[in-house]
Structure 1
């Protein structure tokens, strides 16, 4: 059994390691983890930039990858505490985005400003237990290559946005978006698709 499996399968050891990595009741890692562990664990491609005013709640027990020439702008929060965060090459994570794993973002993707994409949900159905004490649920988000997610959109857990698709500003995406589609609204619906025979975007 690996060291990682040993820690995961032993609640006491897991709690101790967790406390060493993260202060009590917080989501962000301790400074020593940021400085001495993460740079050797996580992959950041050549020419990638993480702006100085980004909050990187990135821990060593899940993956964080940032592709070459990708940029994470100021005032973002990136959190891999409950699932991997994988960001492709030449991808822009615009100002003020909140990205919570598990999430995979492809190559040449544009995320505009103030977008929330979270693969995390909270259980709430037990009315005798405060929600923050109930289990955390996760479902991976996938944003495929060449997509554009416009400002103030929300991408909910479990959603896949297909290649070269557009999500209009202010949309709330609760269901999959097929490749080569435009989605808009709350909840988001498909309003256009690319027609390869006509070589044009056609309203649905």
Structure 2
């Protein structure tokens, strides 16, 4: 269906209008009420608080595993890429998740975290940035990670398993598994050494 619509721009534009009001990002109510609950995979024990802005559309995947929670005043948007939330995850109060984003299992996101797999094109100076195509690169947060308050993770970043991102950090490159990073831009602060069975500071900061 997607391939067929891509080959028929006018039909694609009409279908897009049926799903989303012009110049808006959130789906029409009929999509939220009558389509999304039957199309997307949400475990019955998962919770999305009433004040969450769930901008979820049928043409990209959205899923939540068991006992996961999206807390109040957050925004989740799969308009340009899938959003997959694993089991026993918490998306903290006031956070923003714009796909393509994948959270593994047992991920903790504190308050006001921004994960955006989306970037706006800007290279063509003859057109406004608003009119230029968007570019997406997936964000992956692997199992057991803790993302501190007010963190920004940029498109294309993978945070490795059981890692910690300190509050207020801006993460612009991949984080190795079993690491602690912090700062703007985030840098490696500690890493687990299986030989010493301890979290140690790197000898050379990267």
TM-score range, shorter chain: over 0.9
Q: Distance in 2 between matches of 1:56 and 1:198?
A: 45
The residue aligned with 1:37 is: 35
Q: Distance in 2 between matches of 1:160 and 1:94?
A: 19
The residue aligned with 2:125 is: 127
CA deviation string 1:162-201 (max 9, x = no partner): 0000000000000000000001000000110000011110
**Which of 176, 191, 204 is equivalent to 2:189?**
191
**Which of 160, 163, 169 is equivalent to 1:162?**
160
Q: Distance in 1 between matches of 2:27 and 2:47?
A: 20
Q: Distance in 1 between matches of 2:90 and 2:199?
A: 24
CA deviation string 1:142-163 (max 9, x = no partner): 0000000000000000000000
Q: Distance in 2 between matches of 1:14 and 1:83?
A: 17
Deviating 4+ runs (over 3 angstroms): none
The residue aligned with 2:19 is: 21
Q: Distance in 1 between matches of 2:7 and 2:113?
A: 35
1:12 lines up with 2:10 in the alignment: yes
The residue aligned with 2:59 is: 61
Q: Distance in 2 between matches of 1:25 and 1:123?
A: 17
Shift of 1:6: 1.0
TM-score with structure 1 setting the length: 0.98
**What is the Cα-based RMSD across aligned positions, in Å?**
0.6
**Which of 60, 75, 78 is equivalent to 1:77?**
75
Q: Distance in 2 between matches of 1:148 and 1:158?
A: 18
The residue aligned with 1:48 is: 46
Shift of 1:11: 0.7
CA deviation string 1:72-123 (max 9, x = no partner): 0000000000000000000000100000000100000000000000000001
Q: Distance in 2 between matches of 1:28 and 1:141?
A: 21
Shift of 1:9: 2.1
* Number of equivalences: 202
- 1:90 aligned counterpart, secondary structure: coil
Shift of 1:8: 2.4
Q: Distance in 2 between matches of 1:178 and 1:47?
A: 31
Q: Distance in 1 between matches of 2:122 and 2:196?
A: 48
CA deviation string 1:35-67 (max 9, x = no partner): 000011101013100000000000000000000
Q: Distance in 2 between matches of 1:152 and 1:184?
A: 12
Shift of 1:4: 2.8
TM-score with structure 2 setting the length: 0.97
Provide structure 1 residue ranges, at least 5 long, that are not aligned to the other structure.
none
1:88 lines up with 2:102 in the alignment: no
